Amino acid sequence: MSKQLIHELAIATQRGEMTFPQVVMGLLEIGVESYFVDFAAAQKTHYLANGTIHIERMILEPGAIAADFDGAGLVAAIRGAQADTVRYPEFVQRSTAAGVIGYWAFLTGKRVIYFGRKGEQHIEEFPKRPE
């Protein structure tokens, strides 16, 4: 059951039909604790609380991954996604243009670690929600 829901969320995300918070909520509801996006392999590995994993191939073509890591370009893409002015298809293009080869989203830890081709990293905490 959760494999089908993961697949449906992955497709909707890659089509730009969902915001990042919607994706996070959907994945958490079905037991996904984290996921790793590998732009070089064009796949996303989901890690569930029950110890299982599920791999989804990307339907998007990530494009060429820039050789140099551009932290400012990445942060601009992240801020656009947070403001919902950038949806996932554009986020992927902007991230790879900024030299991101992959990222690990820790949903239960509320942070994402982005990686460059030479081991560069950017850690982004989830935005605080008003209470």
Return the CATH fold of 2-125.
YdfO-like fold (3.30.1810)
CA 94 to CA 28: how far, in whole Å? 26
CA 50 to CA 6: how far, in whole Å? 15
Give the model confidence (pLDDT) of 45-78 as tens digits: 999 999 999 999 999 988 899 999 999 999 999 9
Give the residue-averaged pLDDT of 19-48. 94
**Two tokens, residue 26:** 């959907």
**Mean pLDDT computed over every residue of the chain:** 93
H/E element, 112: strand 111-116
Q: Using a pLDDT cut of 90, give the percent of the chain over it.
A: 84
Q: pLDDT at position 115, please?
A: 98
Q: pLDDT at position 73, please?
A: 97
Radius of gyration of the chain (CA): 14
Q: State the pLDDT confidence band at 87, using cuts at 50, 70 and 90.
A: very high
